[in-house]
Structure 1
Amino acid sequence: MTFMKLNIRAAMLLGSLMMAASPALAEAVLHRGNSGEPQTLDQSQTSIDIEAFILKDLYEGLTIYDANGKIVPGVAESWTVSDDGLVYTFKLRENAKWSDGSPVVAEDFIFSMQREEDPKTAAGYANILYPIKNAEAINKGKMPVDQLGMKAVNDKTLEITLERPTPFFIELLSHQSALPVNKASFEKNGAEFVKPGKLVGNGAFKLVEHVPNDHLTVVKNENYWDAANVKLDKVIFYPLEDQAAGLRRYEAGELDLVYNFSSDQIKRLRDANPKQVHVTPAAATYYYPFDTRTEPFNDARVRRALSMAVDRDFLAKDIYDGTKLPVYSLVPPGLENYGEPSKADFAGMSQLDREDKAIELMKEAGYGEGGKPLNIEIRYNTNPNHQKVATAVADMWKKTFGANVTLMNLDISSHYAYLQEGGKFNVARAGWTADYADAENFLNLNVSTNKTFNYGHYENPEFDALMKKSYEERDPAARSKILHEAEALIMKDQPIAPLMNDANLWLVSDKVKGWGDNANNEHLSKYLSVE
């Protein structure tokens, strides 16, 4: 009897221990479906959101966005601004550390931003930091990097001086190009500093594995200043350009999150589980740039005619099931400091009237029926929705002008690399999501000196002069008026054809907690957990 009681007690004790140990032993893993393979994990070379999702888990800037898209303190726990709006003084967190345990100090940000502006780095997003004093001159090789307007008052106090007051400067500092680089790792490893085992970050997670085109794994960074509140042990990113495959894996329970999915699945998915389908209006524009270096796209009449012939209502409603809105302006609506965008002059016309006017313009330019043949290649990044849009636009141009239209697609990394490196094209698919809530962020895409994102190499001295004037204007109302004039000029010349305002499409499993929809499309893994 005593022996049996001992056995029973032992079994009960063992069971209790196992039950108590199970939660501790269970690893909290989030499986994130990303919509493509990142081109880079180097802050200075990044350009697209699928890279930002990863980078912002590995690194933390002076400021960050919370789960609801609100700007909040990051490495900088607080800051003050001088009365003239030119000097920002940041107090860094005492317990901010790199993943190797070394402290994050003011000099880390100075080194990183000097590297960003150094012309030798050839950073595509160097212009993000142009509001900092001397940044643009340094980036254009006119001044040495040590003249950048930044100073370490002490290890935990950073002072940044601006060229001019910039109302959205705090937002700029949350951008991935403003993330710090670990100087010791960079100097030791060179370009290899982005590799697992060599990447030293200061974010909530650290990189442990990267198998290109298969998966990328990050684990909780025990040295992160807020590690106690990070609920995930591991996050695995999957580069899923094949949206159908991503959806199948999500529905099979292999993925907890999926970014971007074919819009024709929205109704079915909503019918099955509406809470898991997240369609959030975004400060983003889906557009087609024209290569203004090549004929006939160097003729504004041709560009205007092609833009007018696109039935945007059909694209938004029939292809995207209403998850996008037809637009006739580059700047999306909803920016508080800008107001109603300046639309193209044909925005108020019916589609039939637009097409009639487009045919007249095309004939005037010498193309179309009775004129020179119109041969057009549309390039787009591999994606079922983009293919549908390109196919529909090709059909519209064929029916309206008798154009011979061909399609070409590349994976997302190759597509944008080709455009950013200056490759020639006819028409290309592109999208722009606001880095900060200001019209300048969209209009700057057409400034002649923007060698990275001015894909069509548009040059207009009048437009450049208006943009320059906007940077010098401190009165918000006067500045907004100048930017509206600049947008009106773009809508007249049509170096780009804005087609739709985007929406962020996510599938979020019921297991995921802490998710917040927001127009900025900011979703740091540090705020998430899985049940």
Structure 2
Amino acid sequence: MSSRLLKLSAAALLGSVLFAGAPAFAETVLHRGNSGEPQTLDQAQTSINIEAFILKDLYEGLTIYDAAGKIIPGAAESWTLSDDGVTYTFKLRENAKWSDGSPVTAQDFEFSFKRVEDPKTAAKYANILYPIKNAEAINNGKAEIATLGVKAVDAKTFQITLERPTPFFLELLAHQTALPVSKASVEKNGADFVKPGVMVSNGAFKLISHVPNDSLVVEKNENHWDAANTKLDKVIFYPIDDQAASVRRFEAKEMDLAYNFSADQLERLRTSYKDQVHVSPTLATYYYVFDGSQAPYNDVRVRQALSMAVDRDFLAKEIYRGSQIPAYSLVPPGIATYGEPSKADFATLSQLDREDKALALMKDAGYGEGGKPLEIEIRYNTNPNHERVATAVADMWKNTFNAKVTMTNLDVSSHYAYLQEGGKFNVARAGWVADYADAENFLALNLSTNKTFNYGKYSNPEFDALMQKSYAEEKPEARSKLLHEAEALLSRDQPVAPLLTQADLWLVSNRVKGWEDNAANEHLSRFLSISE
């Protein structure tokens, strides 16, 4: 063999050895902390944001939020609105497919929306779609499902008719309750349609595995219409409600994202991780709710007194290190169509004056010093921040009213399940993040007809009537006035005690690209990438 051939053979052999020894193409994986175990992966049963983070990666609604938290087309590439503002006609993408390769059709959306409003489904968030014609009547068993204002005009044309013009309707369609299900899969698999290996989804990712309280894995859906622009191969969600453990895993570089870390770590983390620490103001309210179905919380004087005695400045500055602000209204500031919220009348008083007024109210109600003893149980979902708030509030009530206060905590899923199922309590911690930027989204929590989220069983016919008038009012200024009047009643009656206007706390690794803080707290994994 010639020397030239020997050199070529040696080079070829060396190349093959190097190629054989090279590592296989590495998967791009996002390790995403989630602050609890999801109760469900069924769109119709979802109720909390830790479920929404997962579901919105798996499924795609007619509209979605982009990385900046703005509404953009999702499964629908375009839509038109009738001149009277009540009929939307959506054109679905021709290349929109389910993860099994079958086409996403208008029939799937019609089936999905009817499934949510069917009383037999008992959807927790059915009210999200109440703007659709006959939705509320159907959900309350007063009309037939066939009368719901949704129609598959053809395979790729979906029409929705509303009860009345609803300016925030496109935002409602991006909510997890409005995510579609595969009609064929649900009819074939029943309740098992949510299981790994069975689930058929139309989002950027598909479900691969789910080990409760350990991890949930999704992989890139090659059949998604925009798969070419999805940079991640896999996302692993870790359901960690232990915030200290979540931070440790982030610091050990085991997780790229950590959600809702303990606020007492804020200064230390900012010193160590600088711009990887994100404090993002959001349309969200942290509140305590009173069970108005039992004494003494059915007495407005007791509710007012307990609310007044809470030093919100202390909670905001000392417990949350300034990352939250004191709240005296259920509706948070920053909603353009609403303006300044209607605050409780004690908001302008000093804390000492509030406490004096609270003592007088409690005495008038027959409780506290010289009256009946006051025993209070505070329920909250397991979380260091919530524990600190509960401990602080307990001390405030003990010091002000000589109350005997105990605390009970459950994991986040169990806590909210208990409240949503009508369990009895004294005082319970809750929080609400805007599903859409409108005051109605917060106020409607207290409608007597809201059996899922009206945890305290508040019932005020005057409040209900004002809310009903607001739904029929088309003039923005007149509608805002009605909503302010309704909130003024809540501020007077205090069925809930707003404590803080929230900010979202995230740890975001420098490896993560494409992240944008936004008030909607929407962070679809399809818009993120990893850079080593």
TM-score, length of structure 2 as denominator length? 0.98
Q: Secondary structure at the match of 1:510?
A: coil
Report the alpha carbon displacement of residue 14 of structure 1 after superposing the two structures with TM: 3.8
Report the alpha carbon displacement of residue 275 of structure 1 after superposing the two structures with TM: 1.2
Residue of structure 2 in register with 1:477 after alignment: 477
Count of residue correspondences: 529
2: CA distance, partners of 1:150 / 1:85: 15
Residue of structure 1 in register with 2:54 after alignment: 54
Residue of structure 2 in register with 1:159 after alignment: 159
Note if 1:6 corresponds to 2:8. yes
In the TM superposition, 1:340-379 aligns within 5 A as 340-379=340-379
Report the alpha carbon displacement of residue 7 of structure 1 after superposing the two structures with TM: 5.7
Deviation readout 1:326-377 (Å, 9 max, x if unpaired) = 0100000000000000000000000000000000000000000000000000
2: CA distance, partners of 1:418 / 1:271: 39
Note if 1:500 corresponds to 2:495. no
Report the alpha carbon displacement of residue 184 of structure 1 after superposing the two structures with TM: 1.3
Deviation readout 1:297-354 (Å, 9 max, x if unpaired) = 0000000000000000000000000010001000000000000000000000000000
Report the alpha carbon displacement of residue 17 of structure 1 after superposing the two structures with TM: 4.8
1: CA distance, partners of 2:340 / 2:17: 65
2: CA distance, partners of 1:463 / 1:97: 45
Q: Secondary structure at the match of 2:45?
A: coil
2: CA distance, partners of 1:518 / 1:8: 58
1:336 partner letter: A
Report the alpha carbon displacement of residue 76 of structure 1 after superposing the two structures with TM: 0.5
In the TM superposition, 1:83-162 aligns within 5 A as 83-162=83-162
Deviation readout 1:83-104 (Å, 9 max, x if unpaired) = 1101001010000000010000
Report the alpha carbon displacement of residue 500 of structure 1 after superposing the two structures with TM: 0.1
Residue of structure 1 in register with 2:208 after alignment: 208
Report the alpha carbon displacement of residue 515 of structure 1 after superposing the two structures with TM: 0.6
Report the alpha carbon displacement of residue 2 of structure 1 after superposing the two structures with TM: 4.8
Report the alpha carbon displacement of residue 189 of structure 1 after superposing the two structures with TM: 1.3
Deviation readout 1:204-226 (Å, 9 max, x if unpaired) = 00001000000000001010000
1: CA distance, partners of 2:137 / 2:375: 41
1: CA distance, partners of 2:55 / 2:204: 11
1: CA distance, partners of 2:20 / 2:71: 43
1:293 partner letter: S
Q: 1:4 to 1:508 in 2, by over 3 A?
A: farther
Gaps of 5+ in 1: none
Q: Secondary structure at the match of 2:43?
A: coil
Report the alpha carbon displacement of residue 153 of structure 1 after superposing the two structures with TM: 1.4
2:458 partner letter: Y
Report the alpha carbon displacement of residue 15 of structure 1 after superposing the two structures with TM: 7.3
2: CA distance, partners of 1:264 / 1:322: 10
Deviation readout 1:253-312 (Å, 9 max, x if unpaired) = 100111110011111111112110010001000000000001000000000000000000
1: CA distance, partners of 2:413 / 2:148: 31
Residue of structure 2 in register with 1:523 after alignment: 523
> RMSD between aligned alpha carbons?
1.2
Residue of structure 1 in register with 2:448 after alignment: 448
Report the alpha carbon displacement of residue 18 of structure 1 after superposing the two structures with TM: 6.8
Residue of structure 1 in register with 2:222 after alignment: 222
Note if 1:286 corresponds to 2:290. no
1:280 partner letter: S
Deviation readout 1:163-192 (Å, 9 max, x if unpaired) = 000000000000000000111111111111
Report the alpha carbon displacement of residue 8 of structure 1 after superposing the two structures with TM: 5.0
Residue of structure 1 in register with 2:490 after alignment: 490
Residue of structure 1 in register with 2:180 after alignment: 180
2: CA distance, partners of 1:259 / 1:191: 30
2:428 partner letter: A
Residue of structure 2 in register with 1:406 after alignment: 406
Report the alpha carbon displacement of residue 10 of structure 1 after superposing the two structures with TM: 2.6
Identity value in percent: 74
TM-score, length of structure 1 as denominator length? 0.98
Deviation readout 1:461-514 (Å, 9 max, x if unpaired) = 000000000000000000000000000000000000000001011100000111
Residue of structure 2 in register with 1:248 after alignment: 248
Residue of structure 1 in register with 2:387 after alignment: 387
2: CA distance, partners of 1:444 / 1:166: 15
2: CA distance, partners of 1:231 / 1:15: 30
